[in-house]
Structure 1
Amino acid sequence: MKRRISDVLCAGIILGFALRPYRMSYREVKYFSFPGEVLMRMLQMLVLPLLVSSLITGMAALDSKASGKMGMRAVIYYMTTTIIAVFIGIIIVLIIHPGKGSKDEFGKQQTIEQVSPADAFLDLIRNMFPPNLVQACTQQFKTKYGRRKVHVTVTVNDTLFNSTNGTQEVMEITREEVIPVPGQVNGVNALGLVVFSMCFGLIIGNMKEQGQLLRDFFDSLNEAIMSLVAIIMW
């Protein structure tokens, strides 16, 4: 199988370089990329059931002490790698400025939304506990920012400017402030599903004989998903 994959990769590279002089249109390029797009869509289709079934099966097979340590390590690992990925992305963007000088830049200027590090960290914790598991399969929580007008009443004492007049004047000032509001973005909430799957697998493992039926179900589901992955890869 490894030899077949390497042969396909070599054939794709050779074909790509051979077709470059023909300056194919965007539509023609999309036709060539269609088989790869189908392959990626099939693999993405199995990510969610594979993630849930494998985690529940693995956690249910461990004892409670090992499961607690394993779950804590998994959460810490996920949060650490996420923070590292965010920092690397910010550094790379500041260095290479992707998209700068493209044709789209001259046609439309888009404003970049500034995200507070505190809000990003709180969103990470919120996504660990999704209120709706069905929604977590397609969306994740993300703090957005809105504007609201704040009316401030200021009392001005005229004695500061005119010593002969001691009257006071009340002024109302209106200003805008940016406030965080809850929002959703498209994408699988993997962190929330990981936390739920680990907790669910831990509970099934502690149920002993009563949870045997669920353990068998998720074992069979995991084996079926792995078989599908093998078929798609072939």
Structure 2
Amino acid sequence: MRGKIQLTTQIIIGMVIGVILGAVFGTKIAGVKIIGDIFLRLIQMAVIPLVFCTVIAAIGKLPIKRLGRLGVKTAAWFMGTTFIAALVGLVLGWWFKPGVGIDLKLNPELVEKLTGHPVATSDMILGFFPTNIFDALAKGNTIQVIIFALCFGVVLSKANSQQKYQGLVNGLEKLNQLLVDLIQLVLRLAPLGIGALIASVTAENGLTVLIPLFKFLALFGVGTLLFLAVLFGMIMIRAHMSLRTVMYGFANILIIAMTTTSSAASLPVEMHDAEKRLGIKKEISELVLPLGMALNSNGLAMYLALSCVTMTQFYGLSLSFIMMFKIVMLAIVACLGTVAVPGGGLGALTIIVPTLGLPLESIALLAGIDWFAGIFRTVLNVVGDTTITIMIAADEKQLKQVGLPVKN
């Protein structure tokens, strides 16, 4: 009986075949790009409703009392660490320029849109708030959709205090799961779609497209290690844990995160080890960790910011301060309610890239190495969630000392 080839392996094979075909046949096969474009559109069609349902359900199912002081504290930690992670990704990309070396062509109209008309900061901030949610949904304006979903979620949480709207919450969660299943179904086409996009890009630019990919992964790896060091340092100082205790507490979490590249798959292990190995009481871990999986993604934020900067370098665009600010803000809001399963980073990119005015095909190169990037993303996501849970537990006096296992 033949063993089933995992999707990750299929994507890598598709990317390799695409590179070979593009290098050998050149512009003769540039037309295969349409296959990749169809794949990207299929993913993009489900992302906005998925974000909409996930955020409302995540907030709406929480008791309103828990959205008080503890909720504000949790949200502050989420926003703070996500902002820093996005900023690290932005700085790494801006300083080391992993996207330099590829000269992709950008539509002149898009160049004018990105560089020709600076937008006032006040106008950009005002643009975060919708006047019509249906218009925001139709146009795929992610920031406005998330703002509405957050507000609606708070109202739903308050209205559901007597479980009168539990059916709506359950319905949103079921719809959310169906949308996740839809995206997972579309992702089965990833080997073909990504292979076609890579073949087209290679046909136009040659094998030089591979160099920035290695630079990108190396930078992301360095950023991950630096951020992990900061997170572990915070735990050791605030929770008074030794490095040995921290490493013991996170050992299983790190292994599961690296092997599954899924925050959702890592959550059961996080919740178990948060209590048994790290000493976090249930009333804190059961609130913060599931909410963190849906609304807090340090690794994804760093990845998205680094990816966006890299893509602008693909097209030789210079980054203004406003553009940098927009990238960081988009990286933060795109982490709210994104898919916590393998391939979720690809879906998040389809949110940000069009919002920045860049072509969707910009995703093709980075999509080819998404599994490798997914390891770094997931590790930072789950460690970030658990770190915040520890910090809140320590602040709320809900952290107990847990001894290390004694060797016989």
**After superposition, where does 1:138-177 map in structure 2 within 5 Å?**
138-139=138-139
Q: CA deviation at 1:133?
A: 1.0
1:210 corresponds to which of 159, 164, 189: 164
Q: Which residue of 2 aligns with 1:123?
A: 123
Shift of 1:59: 0.5
Gaps of 5+ in 1: 140-187
CA distance in 2, matches of 1:20, 1:2: 26
Q: Which residue of 2 aligns with 1:9?
A: 12
Write the mapping of 1:6-155 to structure 2, written as runs, cut at 5 A: 6-25=9-28, 28-31=29-32, 33-64=33-64, 66-67=66-67, 68-69=71-72, 70-71=74-75, 112-113=115-116, 115=118, 119-120=120-121, 122-139=122-139
Preserved contact between residue 71 and residue 198 of structure 1 (Cα < 8 Å): no
Evaluate the alpha carbon distance shift between residue 2 and residue 36 of structure 1 in structure 2; reply closer, same or farther with a 3 A threshold. farther
More strand by share: 1
The whole-number CA distance in structure 2 between the counterparts of 1:230 and 1:104 is 31
TM-score in terms of structure 2 length: 0.35
| Higher percent of residues as helix | 2
State the Cα deviation string for residues 156-196 of structure 1 (Å, max 9, x = none): xxxxxxxxxxxxxxxxxxxxxxxxxxxxxxxx322221121
**Aligned residue pairs, count:** 175
Q: 1:190 to 1:110 in 2, by over 3 A?
A: closer
Root-mean-square deviation over aligned CA pairs:
3.9
Q: Could you tell me which amino acid in structure 2 is paired with residue 55 of structure 1? A: V
Secondary structure of 1:194's partner?
A: helix
Q: 1:220 and 1:110, CA in 2 relative to 1: closer, same or farther beyond 3 A?
A: closer
Q: CA deviation at 1:77?
A: 6.6
1:200 matched to 2:167? The reply is no
Relative to structure 1, the CA distance from residue 18 to residue 48 in structure 2 (aligned partners, 3 Å threshold; closer, same or farther) is closer
TM-score between both structures, scaled by the size of structure 1: 0.57
3-state SS in 2 of match to 1:137: helix
Aligned partner of residue 165 in structure 2, secondary structure: helix
**1:43 and 1:232 in contact (8 A); partners too:** yes
In structure 2, C-alpha distance between the alignment counterparts of 1:193 and 1:221, rounded to whole Å: 17
Q: Deviations over 1:9-38 (max 9, x none)?
A: 22431342244233333xx3122x333222
Corresponding residue for 2:176? 222
* Offset, 1:47: 0.7
Please say if residues 63 and 206 of structure 1, whose CA atoms lie closer than 8 Å, have aligned partners that are also in contact. Answer: yes
Give the structure with higher Rg (CA): 1
Q: For the residues of structure 1 that align with 2:76 and 2:158, how far apart are their CA atoms?
A: 17
CA distance in 2, matches of 1:195, 1:104: 31
- Classify 1:79/1:7 alpha carbon distance in 2 versus 1 (closer, same or farther; 3 Å): closer
> Cα gap change, 1:232/1:204 in structure 2, threshold over 3 Å: closer, same or farther?
same
1:204–1:49 Cα change, 3 Å: same
User: Is 1:231 matched up with 2:231?
Assistant: no
- Asked if 2 retains the 8 angstrom alpha-carbon contact of 1:60 and 1:205, the reply is yes
Residues 123-176 of structure 1: CA deviation (Å, up to 9, x unaligned): 34313321111222244xxxxxxxxxxxxxxxxxxxxxxxxxxxxxxxxxxxxx
User: 1 CA distance for matches of 2:20 and 2:130?
Assistant: 46
- 1:133–1:2 distance in 2 versus 1, CA, 3 Å: farther
Task: Using the aligned pairs only, state the percent identity.
Answer: 17
Deviations 1:55-84 (A, max 9, x none): 111111223354442555566677777777
Q: Please tell me the residue identity of whatever aligns with 1:4.
A: L
Which one-letter code corresponds to 2:30 in the other structure? V
1:43–1:229 CA contact under 8 A, matched in 2? yes
Question: Deviation of residue 50 (structure 1)?
Answer: 0.6
